[in-house]
Amino acid sequence: SAVISQKPSRDICQRGTSLTIQCQVDSQVTMMFWYRQQPGQSLTLIATANQGSEATYESGFVIDKFPISRPNLTFSTLTVSNMSPEDSSIYLCSVHNRTGAGELFFGEGSRLTVL
């Protein structure tokens, strides 16, 4: 299984600011997935990050709010822009197994609280 490291693990942010979350994987992967888990809720896919192309966003999520970078096959960042209290969530990075399909492996998540 892949080992995924996320930074920061948690942060408290002020309204109107932006925060960038980093995701590092211990192996090269084609796709990386960013999920959001709002308090007491399930996981919702924000976008799929492919190396060498723009991220693909799910309905309800836009690049201006959640810009994503994917500079190489082991790293990605998600920025939460112009934050409001509604953005308080756990943000999770995930990747597939080595075959590129099937189950996802998750990082520990980045817990953001916006005041």
Q: CA 94 to CA 21: how far, in whole Å?
A: 13
Q: What number of chain residues touch another protein (CB under 8 A)?
A: 20
CB of 95 to another protein, least distance (A): 11
**What SS3 class is residue 87?**
helix
Span 67-96, contacts to another protein by CB under 8 A:
92, 96
Regarding 101 and contact with another protein (CB under 8 A), the answer is yes
Choose, by CB under 8 A, the member of 13, 22, 24, 43 that binds another protein: 43
Choose, by CB under 8 A, the member of 20, 22, 48, 81 that binds another protein: 48
Closest listed residue to residue 72, CA positions, set 103, 27, 108, 36: 27
The residue among 20 and 44 lying less far from another protein, judged by its C-beta, is: 44
DSSP letter at 102 equals S
Q: Cis bond leading into 39, ω under 30°?
A: no
Stretch 22-41: interaction string toward another protein, x if CB under 8 A: ---------x-x-------x
**What SS3 class is residue 111?**
strand
Q: CA 47 to CA 62: how far, in whole Å?
A: 9
Q: Cis bond leading into 67, ω under 30°?
A: no
Regarding 106 and contact with another protein (CB under 8 A), the answer is yes
- The residues binding another protein (CB under 8 A) are 31, 33, 41-45, 48, 92, 96, 100-109
